[in-house]
Structure 1
Amino acid sequence: MKKLLVPTDFSQEAENALKVAAQLAKKHHCEILLLHLLELPLQQIDMVNNHSELPEAMFFMKLAQQKFEDLVDSDYLKGLTVQHFVEFGESFANLSEIGKRKGANLIVMGSHGASGFKEMFIGSNAEKVVRHSDIPVLVIKNEHQNFDIKDFVFASDFKKDNKETYKQAADLAQTFNAKIHLVMVNTASNFTTTGKAQARIKDFIKDYPFDNYSINIYNDTNVENGILNFSQDINADLIGISTHGRQGIAHFFNGSISEDLVNHAKRPVITFKI
């Protein structure tokens, strides 16, 4: 983890994410790539002569620059390497491509509380990022004075098409020096015996040696409640889930996990693309 891409609209929620990124950068010696997107046509902006045929374009460019200057002067960014830049004509759906172009290993972004998480999975900017990103996305909901990950829940159905996401989660847990809690949720409509579930999980993780883990079979009324309740039971610091790219989180667990998972999660959530 060398570079963290942090999109900002200069809101409080975006700053919450930036503060978390700053803590990660200090602990793991990362560079922060602070990005503001202006969905303006680049061909109408003359960057050399600082001129645009769109007066509002110049206004937003200068406003963004001023806000960048104020933001990077914050005490919590002191001593860190922070690159700030504006991308024109790009949408949040292309954030992963920007991240890959810049060499980012992780996207850290904020969300607007419960309603924001609900919007995240039904068409918001964060939803676009999660659905399209090949880079893991860490979604921050609240301000964290001390973002210290010790207990990391990785929830899955533990089928073979998810193995790459587990490798990413295990690598992240190792970076954080965290314990990863593998949890499979049993429901009445999709029940698996404990023995079969444990065997499936052990087969799932055997190719990626990582010793600091626990295996958990959790019974609940539905998958979403199971993940949330298990995470609360162990006071988890982070919840990890998988997505299927453009199909989004609705196809997680080969079924339908609703936006309720992150809508109601008070904890940070990180997504990995299958």
Structure 2
Amino acid sequence: MIKVLVPFDFSETSNYAFEFAISLAENYNQLEINLLHVVETPIATGMGTMGGGLDAIPDFENQVFFMELIETRKKQFKEIEEKHKDSSINLKTNLVIGNVYRNIVDVIQEKNPDLVIMGSKGSSGLEEVLIGSNTEKVVRTAPCPVVTVKSSTHVSKMRKVVFASDFRDADDEVASRIRRMQTLFDAQFYFVLVNTPGNFETTRESFARIKTYVQKHKLENIKAEIYNSLSEETGILEFADDIDADMIAMTTHGRTGFLHLITGSIAEDVVNHSKRPVWTFKR
């Protein structure tokens, strides 16, 4: 049984993530979907959605609104359960109260899912540097693979999957995850290595390394590609555009704190800026 966690906030993008999980379940019947909604604990200070801050709302009114919100979310979850109760989808719902990111991490640690699927709007500029999204933080820290989805995507339409890497780290776990993806998607897998001015090598050297990687891990039905660009992130996104890929897959180092602030993450940049689903797994 493959356990899939879908953090769900009833937004359009989280619905896209839920729909993607359902299409996975329809394509692979040994799959369990855990739909998680976190009701944020009210904060006494800060900006409210109507301006002025939550502290401008009397405590009683704030508490009533909070309790009504919880009841509304319970009702919405019940409607989702009713909608799918007669289907073949193995669906569970979980409503918790607290902090969105912290509770997602706690559930990941407790439930140990095989895959997390999250909706994402992406971010850019100062927001990307200083704040980042909950999705980005989960991508960085989750021990299991994470799929980020920004638009309606169905597994049955997956025809081209790009796996971007430098193919220097012959990690057995990564290769195992790629094979798992191949069982889920009836797609052509493109192994692409991006050549940049600051990290240049000949096409022959690049192809030889991809070939060694594929042979070592006994991977099949792989198409090797070399792509030249000014940066790895840009090259991955441009290559995916050029072949009209349906998904991008890549690894992330999962750096946090000061090291992450200085070095950043190509995977997180791709997650932020890609219009396609991105499947990431930490190595």
TM class by smaller structure: 0.7 to 0.9
Give the structure-2-normalised TM-score: 0.79
Which shows bigger deviation, 73-82 or 205-214? 73-82
Contiguous gaps of at least 5 residues in structure 2: 43-62
- Distance in 1 between the 2:179 and 2:155 partners? 22
How many residues end up aligned between the 2 structures? 258
Q: 1:120 to 1:63 in 2, by over 3 A?
A: farther
Identity of aligned residues (%): 39
- Distance in 1 between the 2:193 and 2:256 partners? 21
Whether 1:135 and 2:144 are equivalent positions in the alignment is yes
Kept after mapping to 2: 8 A contact 1:119/1:127: no
- Distance in 2 between the 1:133 and 1:121 partners? 20
Tell me the equivalent position of 2:266: 257
- Distance in 2 between the 1:72 and 1:120 partners? 38
Q: 1:40 to 1:264 in 2, by over 3 A?
A: closer
- Distance in 1 between the 2:175 and 2:20 partners? 23
- Distance in 1 between the 2:103 and 2:213 partners? 31
Whether 1:63 and 2:72 are equivalent positions in the alignment is yes
Whether 1:160 and 2:173 are equivalent positions in the alignment is no
Which shows bigger deviation, 132-141 or 175-184? 175-184
Tell me the equivalent position of 2:2: 2
Q: Give SS of 1:160's match.
A: coil
Letter of the 1:27 counterpart? N
Tell me the equivalent position of 2:220: 211
Kept after mapping to 1: 8 A contact 2:136/2:268: no
Give the structure-1-normalised TM-score: 0.81
Shift of residue 231 of structure 1? Answer: 1.2
Q: Deviations over 1:209-242 (max 9, x none)?
A: 2211011111122212211121122221110121
- Distance in 1 between the 2:180 and 2:142 partners? 18
Which shows bigger deviation, 137-146 or 26-35? 137-146
Q: Give SS of 1:159's match.
A: coil
Which ranges of 4 or more aligned residues in structure 1 deviate by more than 6 Å? none
- Distance in 2 between the 1:235 and 1:3 partners? 29
Kept after mapping to 1: 8 A contact 2:81/2:91: yes
- Distance in 2 between the 1:164 and 1:235 partners? 28
Residue 80 of structure 1, aligned match among 71, 74, 89: 89
Kept after mapping to 2: 8 A contact 1:131/1:243: yes
Q: 1:135 to 1:246 in 2, by over 3 A?
A: same
Which shows bigger deviation, 202-211 or 122-131? 202-211
Kept after mapping to 2: 8 A contact 1:134/1:272: yes
- Distance in 2 between the 1:77 and 1:218 partners? 47
- Distance in 2 between the 1:37 and 1:188 partners? 45
Tell me the equivalent position of 1:48: none
Tell me the equivalent position of 1:221: 230
Q: Deviations over 1:137-184 (max 9, x none)?
A: 100001135653222100011121755324312321233233221100
Tell me how large the CA RMSD over aligned residues is: 3.1
Q: Deviations over 1:5-43 (max 9, x none)?
A: 1111111111111111111111101121000113449xx
Whether 1:14 and 2:14 are equivalent positions in the alignment is yes
Q: 1:182 to 1:255 in 2, by over 3 A?
A: farther
Tell me the equivalent position of 2:199: 190
Residue 246 of structure 2, aligned match among 232, 237, 252: 237
Tell me the equivalent position of 1:108: 117
Kept after mapping to 1: 8 A contact 2:194/2:228: yes
Whether 1:99 and 2:108 are equivalent positions in the alignment is yes
- Distance in 1 between the 2:123 and 2:278 partners? 13
Q: Deviations over 1:89-143 (max 9, x none)?
A: 3542553541353242111110125669x74994211112111101111000011
- Distance in 2 between the 1:246 and 1:77 partners? 43
- Distance in 2 between the 1:135 and 1:128 partners? 13
Whether 1:33 and 2:42 are equivalent positions in the alignment is no
Shift of residue 260 of structure 1? Answer: 4.8
Q: Deviations over 1:28-62 (max 9, x none)?
A: 01121000113449xxxxxxxxxxxx655533331
Kept after mapping to 1: 8 A contact 2:6/2:18: yes
Letter of the 2:282 counterpart? K
